[in-house]
């Protein structure tokens, strides 16, 4: 044996990696053996191995120990691979659920973005209407100011006209006084009487009221127009209705704008309804998806736990397999399952067969559970629980019956068969004790399984209560979202109504502005006419003043001259009065 370890040491010396990979050498063989024995004892192996012996029995023990270690390593690898597969599947499910959640969140974000854009659009339209209303209000104020300025200008012109009329009256009085003085100085030379001379000169007291009468009528018209300018903007529709056919186009434009605003409000309401329906549908789909995934995950977890415990204890496997598989699969015998024979098997062989059957059963039911739905999985779990409970009750009943049969004394038999019965009883005593021990172990395992199932049921109830709490919270969130949607709808309706009202006010303001523009144009025309009249009156007054100054400055002529001159001037004033009073069809220049 020493030569064998020496050969291994020599071979390791030839390896260039021997210094890094060699565990034992010729110098530390004893310490290495002690370390290995202590490690094997810690792992549950025998610590009586003789590693330095060349006895075949010792070598067989070492080989068995190494084989057990290799089997344990293989089992560990299988378990690790199975756990890695489960972890990979769970990661894939988590990625799928996260992608679905991301997609739903993206849809929800899109709907919120659309809602925000609609709100921004509504606010923009409201701001635009406010600015337009302010602009039209400013324009109306400007027109009112212009109207007031025109009124002041007209009043100033009227005051100036009155002053000129008063000055003309004073000059006429002076002229009359001069003519009377000349007539008195003429004596009896046949001079024109004062009455005739007074009749020859047209009186401004007769002509000025005619001109001022038209001015007064125009003033009344202006007061009516000024009342329209200074009236409230809200009552402008009534004034616009009284203006006649001049604003028919304004009415048509107003009706068309009101129709367009109504159509825009209806489209906004339809868009809002479609957005709310889409949001509610997305929320309901998301809640249903989350609930279904949680239920499926909980059921899979409980099923795997229950199945692993049942397989590890060997309880309920056959009945569960019959309940889960179809009728044809349950009736067929398993080819890999060995049939019971009369020859008893070794306990190690029975344990190996039971492990092989449980491993096959667990892999089969794991694959079947992956393909089941939620309803099938719940029915399968219920059937599994019932089968396990039935088998445990059957084991308890059988154990009680065996104890009762052992407690009853055996019936007396003939002397010829007593010895044979004693031999048979002594032969079967070991088998009965083994069966009782096995039944007791199964009973303990069944009780442990029942306790674990009760704990699982308690956890399932807790999960159910938690799911109900989550559902109530989701309902509360849904109700809050519904209230928020109702509030948004109310706000949208109020904004639409305000938009319609602002549109109506805008049209009223436009009609008022059109009326004011027409009135301003009329006032401009009247002012132009009045200015022309004033200019003509001033020119006539200047001409009269020149004539009066010429008459006053002229020397006294013979009696024939005044007689010829008076009819000439009287004829001119008579023609001017006829032209002024000819009528409304052919007014003279300077007449109202």
pLDDT of residue 135: 87
Give dist(CA 468, CA 474) in Å, integer. Answer: 10
Task: Decide if 36 contacts 62 (C-beta within 8 A).
Answer: no
Is 62 domain-assigned? yes
Alpha helices in 332-373 (DSSP H): 347-371
For residue 582, give the 3-state DSSP assignment: coil
- Could you write out the DSSP letters of every residue in 127-177? HHHHHHHHHHHHHHHHHHHHHHHHHHHHHHHHHHHHHHHHHHHHHHHHHHH
Q: Is 449 exposed, middle or buried (0-12, 13-18, 19+ CB in 10 A)?
A: buried
pLDDT of residue 543: 82
Give dist(CA 196, CA 192) in Å, integer. Answer: 6
Is 59 domain-assigned? yes
Nearest one of 322, 310, 459, 321 to 389, comparing CA atoms: 310
pLDDT of residue 268: 60
Long-range CB pairs of 271-277 (<8 Å, 24+ gap) are 271/118, 272/118, 272/488, 272/489, 272/492, 275/111, 275/114, 275/115, 275/118, 276/485, 276/489
Q: How many helices (H) and strands (E) does the chain have?
A: 14, 0
- 231 Rama class: left (phi>0) / alpha (psi -120 to 50) / beta: beta
Dihedral of alpha carbons 50, 52, 54, 56, sign: positive
pLDDT of residue 314: 58
Task: Decide if 539 contacts 165 (C-beta within 8 A).
Answer: no
Task: Decide if 195 contacts 566 (C-beta within 8 A).
Answer: no
pLDDT of residue 191: 44
Is 78 domain-assigned? no
pLDDT of residue 120: 93
Is 326 domain-assigned? no
pLDDT of residue 92: 92
Give the domain extent around 18: 2-72
What is Dmax (Cα atoms) for the chain? 211
Q: What DSSP state is assigned to residue 245?
A: G
Which residues lie closer than 8 Å to 333 by C-beta, 6 or more apart?
339
C-alpha distances in Å from residue 293, one per residue of 95, 297, 450, 465, 475: 13, 6, 28, 17, 18
Give dist(CA 169, CA 205) in Å, integer. Answer: 8
Is 104 domain-assigned? no
- 343 Rama class: left (phi>0) / alpha (psi -120 to 50) / beta: beta
Give dist(CA 569, CA 562) in Å, integer. Answer: 10
pLDDT of residue 271: 61
Local confidence pLDDT in tens for the 592 residues of the chain: 344 444 444 444 444 444 445 777 877 877 887 887 787 777 777 767 777 777 788 778 778 878 888 888 899 999 999 999 988 888 898 888 889 888 988 988 888 898 889 889 889 998 988 888 888 888 888 888 888 888 888 888 889 888 888 888 888 888 888 888 877 776 545 444 443 444 444 444 444 444 444 444 444 444 444 444 444 434 444 443 443 443 344 444 444 444 544 545 565 676 667 667 767 776 777 777 677 677 767 766 776 776 676 666 654 444 434 444 333 433 344 433 444 444 444 444 444 444 444 444 444 444 444 445 556 656 766 676 777 667 767 766 776 776 666 555 545 444 556 666 666 656 566 666 676 777 777 778 777 877 777 787 778 778 777 877 887 788 888 888 878 778 888 888 888 887 787 777 777 777 777 777 777 777 778 778 877 877 888 888 788 778 777 777 765 444 444 444 444 444 444 455 545 444 444 444 444 3
- Could you write out the DSSP letters of every residue in 279-325? HHHHHHHHHHHHHHHHHHHHHHHHHHHHHHHHHHHT-SHHHHHHHHS
pLDDT of residue 472: 79
Is 360 domain-assigned? no
pLDDT of residue 465: 77
Dihedral of alpha carbons 313, 315, 318, 322, sign: negative
pLDDT of residue 348: 45
Tokens at 317, concatenated: 């496997």
How many domains does one find in the chain? 1
Give dist(CA 240, CA 246) in Å, integer. Answer: 9
Whether the model clears a pTM of 0.75, i.e. scores above it, the answer is: no
CB atoms within 10 A of CB 487: 10
Task: Decide if 300 contacts 93 (C-beta within 8 A).
Answer: no
Is 167 domain-assigned? no
Is 9 domain-assigned? yes
Give dist(CA 61, CA 427) in Å, integer. Answer: 33
Task: Decide if 587 contacts 206 (C-beta within 8 A).
Answer: no
């Amino acid at each position: 044996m020493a030569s064998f370890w020496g050969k291994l040491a020599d071979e390791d010396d030839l390896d260039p990696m021997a210094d890094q990979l060699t565990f034992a050498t010729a110098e530390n063989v004893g310490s290495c053996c002690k370390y290995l024995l202590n490690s094997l004892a810690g792992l549950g192996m025998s610590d009586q191995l003789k590693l330095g012996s060349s006895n075949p029995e010792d070598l067989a023990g070492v080989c068995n120990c190494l084989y057990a270690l290799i089997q344990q390593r293989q089992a560990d690898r299988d378990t690790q691979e199975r756990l890695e597969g489960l972890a990979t599947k769970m990661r894939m499910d988590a990625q799928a659920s996260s992608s679905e959640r991301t997609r739903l969140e993206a849809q929800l974000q899109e709907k919120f973005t659309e809602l925000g854009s609609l709100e921004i659009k509504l606010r923009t339209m409201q701001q635009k209407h406010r600015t337009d209303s302010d602009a039209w209000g400013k324009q109306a104020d400007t027109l009112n100011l212009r109207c007031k300025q025109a009124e002041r200008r007209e009043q100033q012109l009227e005051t100036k006209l009155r002053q000129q009329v008063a000055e003309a009256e004073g000059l006429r009085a002076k002229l009359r006084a001069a003519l009377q003085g000349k007539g008195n100085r003429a004596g009896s030379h046949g001079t024109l009487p004062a009455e005739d001379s007074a009749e020859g000169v047209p009186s401004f007291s007769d002509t000025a009221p005619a001109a001022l009468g038209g001015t007064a009528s125009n003033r009344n018209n202006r007061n009516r127009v000024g009342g329209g300018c200074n009236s409230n903007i809200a009552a402008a529709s009534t004034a616009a209705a009284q203006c006649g056919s001049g604003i028919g186009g304004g009415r048509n434009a107003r009706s068309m704008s009101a129709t367009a605003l109504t159509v825009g409000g209806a489209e906004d309401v339809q868009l809002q309804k479609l957005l709310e329906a889409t949001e509610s549908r997305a929320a309901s789909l998301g809640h249903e998806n989350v609930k279904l995934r949680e239920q499926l995950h909980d059921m899979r977890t409980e099923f795997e736990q229950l199945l692993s415990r049942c397989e590890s204890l060997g309880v309920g496997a056959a009945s569960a397999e019959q309940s889960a598989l179809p009728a044809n699969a349950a009736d067929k015998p398993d080819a890999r399952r060995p049939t019971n024979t009369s020859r008893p098997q070794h306990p190690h062989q029975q344990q190996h067969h039971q492990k092989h059957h449980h491993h096959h059963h667990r892999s089969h039911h794991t694959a079947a559970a992956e393909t089941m739905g939620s309803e099938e999985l719940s029915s399968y779990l219920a059937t599994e629980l019932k089968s396990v409970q039935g088998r445990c009750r059957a084991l308890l009943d059988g154990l009680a019956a065996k104890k009762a049969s052992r407690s009853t004394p055996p019936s007396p038999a003939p002397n010829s068969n007593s010895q044979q019965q004693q031999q048979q009883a002594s032969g079967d005593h070991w088998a009965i004790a083994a069966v009782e021990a096995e039944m007791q172990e199964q009973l303990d395992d069944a009780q442990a399984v029942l306790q674990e199932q009760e704990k699982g049921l308690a956890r399932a109830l807790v999960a159910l209560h938690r799911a109900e709490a989550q559902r109530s919270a989701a309902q509360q969130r849904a109700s809050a979202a519904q209230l928020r949607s109702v509030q948004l709808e109310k706000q949208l309706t109020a904004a639409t109504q305000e938009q319609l009202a602002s549109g109506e006010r805008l049209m009223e303001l436009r009609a008022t502005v059109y009326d004011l523009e027409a009135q301003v144009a009329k006032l401009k025309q009247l002012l132009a006419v009045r200015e022309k009249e004033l200019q003509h009156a001033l020119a006539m007054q200047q001409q009269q003043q020149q004539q009066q100054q010429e008459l006053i400055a002229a020397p006294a002529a013979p009696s024939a001259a005044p007689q010829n001159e008076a009819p000439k001037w009287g004829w001119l004033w008579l023609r001017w009065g006829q032209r002024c009073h000819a009528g409304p069809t052919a007014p003279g220049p300077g007449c109202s």
